[in-house]
Amino acid sequence: MNNALLRDLVVLVARIAVGVVFIAHGWQKFSTNGMEATASGFDMMGVPAPTVSAWFAAIVELAGGALLIAGLALPVAGVLLFVDMLGAFAIVHAGSGVFVDQGGYELVLTLGVVALLLAAVGAGRFSLDQVVSPRLAKGAVA
């Protein structure tokens, strides 16, 4: 197997795995909790503009996760997901240590950095970005 094919397969697996997690978290904000409860939870955690922030997080996580899986507009989706996770890190999780079971930042750090990495390296050949713009599929740093 050549290096380019292996790279594109690994990027596809990463996009799908991380995209599923983002979709689950975005969908949870809409369905399980409801946006009013999500905004209330954000308010209790000290998130500024909790209603706007809740809607931003839910939409970015749900749509961004779907875009990761599809491999579409990856530079934009990846950066928006990184910004979403950066906010979660800075406002909510940073002071709680590393481990997620203690309210820590391991999940938001990992998701945010992988989203940023995908924005930089591109969606690869197994993506809608490859169909729309092959140059875009190679990433922002290619």
Q: Over the stretch 64-85, which tens digit does the pLDDT of each residue have?
A: 999 999 999 999 999 999 999 9
> What are the extents of the domains in the chain?
3-137
DSSP readout, 34-66?
Answer: -HHHHHHHHHHTT-SSHHHHHHHHHHHHHHHHH
DSSP, res 98: S
Which pLDDT score, from 0 to 100, does residue 142 have? Answer: 52
Q: What is the pTM of this model?
A: 0.93
pLDDT confidence of residue 38: 95
Section 100-124 average pLDDT? 94
Query: pLDDT tens for residues 11-35?
Result: 999 999 999 999 999 999 999 878 9
CB 61 within 8 A of CB 25: yes
- Give percent of the chain with pLDDT exceeding 90: 85
How confident is the model at residue 135, as a pLDDT? Answer: 77
pLDDT higher than 70, residue 140:
no
Residue-level pLDDT at 141: 58
